[in-house]
Structure formats: structure tokens, C-alpha cells
Amino acid sequence: KNASDLTIVTTGYLENTVQASISTGFFDYDRLVICSGAKPAALDIPGASAPNVFYFRDINDAQNIKKYIDEKKPSTACIIGGGSSGLLIAEAFFEKGINTTIIESSQRILNDYENDLIDFFIKNASRGTSMIYPGPTSPIGLKIAQATKVVSLNASNTTGHIYSVTATTCNG
């Protein structure tokens, strides 16, 4: 059957079992990973089809981003979206020494999570190898703009590559 036909009914965490509506039995597992199938929203703004604009959906996209970074060695990047995927990419860019700006249209990054969890994450993120700074600027080259909407990606007339981003505040 297709994975899209599978519905999780119950899980037995301690027993390492999961029951699905597709079957009357249980499936044993060593590790259970549930992927929600989230997809990035396609940008409908000027500059969205520039050669240095990437979407992050799967391993091929990740490889294309890595190839671009390895070949072009950009010093700056802009990530549109402050969800968990956006923060993971920001961390990878940070580790590569790329100055990064995250632009999130909601009032807070990780907006789908409870405030206590977000506060804990922000407070403790600097204890590892990377650091998430909740203010508008950071000494480590990470900026987070919340309640901000990207209105255009500004491309060079000669190369077609994005050189700046135009954004405006919004109500989130």
C-alpha cells in the first residue's frame, strides 16, 4: 500500500509497536519516525525564480544548496521562514560561516510551537555549537526579523542573481 494510505491509530511506545488503520495487526519497530509531509510554499514575488533561490523539500534540494555553497562560497544568505526547517538550515549556514538573516512572517520563529518551548529553545540554543539570537542583530552574523513579509527578491540585471531582499513589517 502507499504510505499516504497509512493512518496511525495507536502507538505503544514502551512496546515499540504501532497500529495502523490499514492493518488489523501491529508493526514492530526499532525507531519510529513520523514525517508530516510539510512542503515549502512557492514564492509568488519578483525574483523567486533566480538561480540562487532554493526551496528545501528533499535530499536533492539539500545537495543543490550544498553544491551552490561549495562552488560560489556566498558570505550571506536569507532564509524565508522561521520554522524548524528554516532554523536547521540557518544552523548549517552558521557552521559554514555564512551571515544569515531569517525572515518570519509570524510574530515569532517556531510559531507552531508553544511559547514555553520556544522560550526554552531560544534560552538554551547558545549552549551548543550554534546560537540562535532572538533580537534583530547578533554579533555572530545571525539576524531574525519576525512579523516581516518578503515582498521582492532583487536580482542583478547582469547575472540574474539575488543581491538583496525587500521586506515590510506585517501583523504576522
Ramachandran class of 141: left when φ > 0, alpha when ψ lies in -120 to 50, beta otherwise: left
Q: What does the pLDDT read at residue 127?
A: 46
Length of the chain: 172
Residue 31 or residue 46, greater confidence:
46
Buried b (16+ CB within 10 A) or exposed e, 100-109: bbbbbbbebb
Q: What does the pLDDT read at residue 33?
A: 58
Cα separation, 30 vs 17, in Å, equals 9
Cα separation, 128 vs 95, in Å, equals 12
When pLDDT is cut at 50, 70 and 90, the band that residue 143 belongs to is confident
Short-list 55, 69, 14, 49, CA closest to 162: 49
Short-list 70, 110, 68, CA closest to 86: 110
Q: What does the pLDDT read at residue 160?
A: 93
CA distances, 17 to each of 11, 27, 75, 137, 169 (Å) = 6, 6, 47, 46, 47
Is the pLDDT assigned to residue 37 strictly greater than 70? no
Q: What does the pLDDT read at residue 152?
A: 94
Segment among 13-22, 36-45, 130-139 with least mean pLDDT = 130-139
When pLDDT is averaged across residues 152-159 and rounded to a whole number, the result is 94
Report the percentage of the chain scoring pLDDT > 70. 65
DSSP reduced 3-state for 38: coil
Cα separation, 29 vs 83, in Å, equals 28
Q: What does the pLDDT read at residue 28?
A: 55
Average pLDDT of every residue of the chain: 75
Segment among 35-39, 77-81, 86-90, 149-153 with least mean pLDDT = 35-39
Cα separation, 132 vs 138, in Å, equals 9
Q: What does the pLDDT read at residue 47?
A: 94
Cα separation, 19 vs 6, in Å, equals 10
Q: What does the pLDDT read at residue 142?
A: 78
Residue 167 or residue 8, greater confidence:
167
Short-list 53, 164, 145, CA closest to 104: 145
Taking only the tens place, the pLDDT of each residue in 61-100 is: 889 999 999 999 999 999 999 888 888 888 888 888 888 8
* 102 touches 145 (CB < 8 A): yes
Q: What does the pLDDT read at residue 128?
A: 43
